[in-house]
Every structure is written in C-alpha cells, then in structure tokens.
Amino acid sequence: MLITIIIISLIAIWLIWSRYFSNKLIKKGFELVSKDNPVRVDVALREVMGYCERNHLDYRYIKSQEAIVIEMENEYGGVTIWGDGNFRLGSCVFSVD
C-alpha cells in the first residue's frame, strides 16, 4: 500500500514538473523570438496550443500537408509556430513573419 502511494506521488510530481518546465520553455520561446531570430523549442505543438488556451492567447491552427502551423500576434507582429515532427512529439520553431 505504501509503495503504491509513493509511486502515485512520484507520477503526480513528475506531471506537475513537466508542465511547469514546458510552460517555462514556451514562455522563453515567445520572449526570445524576433524578426531575424527564429527560436527552436523542444516542446510538442500540442503543448504550445494548451499554453495558448490556458493563457487566453488568440491563435489560428492550420493543418496542411507539409506542417502544422499556429499563427498568432505578439508585440513583434505575427508569430508563426511550426511543428517539427509529430503533433504530440517533436519540437517547435517560433518565427516572426
């Protein structure tokens, strides 16, 4: 019984920490992106979509044959987020149009 509680506690701590770390990376990606400086973030595209929804950021989700793209506005203009890899796995590239 004690081992089960410890395992469940470790899983909960890991899930909370991974969400915190992902949000930190996404926030850093939005802060560092500029016109001449695209930023690669090792976070899945679905995590970026979840971040935008939790923080009430307006975005447009475009699914095409080549890539999955999120387009949104920030202080620099339009930010395009390209998913590199799978929707659930992979990384994202933040760039300013």
For residue 43, the SS3 value is coil
What is the helix (H) or strand (E) element at residue 20, kind and residue range?
helix 2-32
CA separation for the pair 91, 97 (Å, rounded): 19
Mean pLDDT confidence for 60-82: 68
Say what the pLDDT of residue 4 is: 96
Q: What's the predicted TM-score (pTM) here?
A: 0.79
- What rounded mean pLDDT belongs to the chain? 84
CA separation for the pair 42, 40 (Å, rounded): 7
Residues 6+ apart with CB under 8 A from 47: 22, 26
- Using pLDDT thresholds of 50, 70 and 90, give the confidence band for residue 65: low
| Owning domain of residue 39 | 2-96
Q: How many domains does the chain have?
A: 1
Say what the pLDDT of residue 24 is: 94
The answer to whether residue 89 scores a pLDDT higher than 80 is yes
The answer to whether residue 72 scores a pLDDT higher than 70 is no
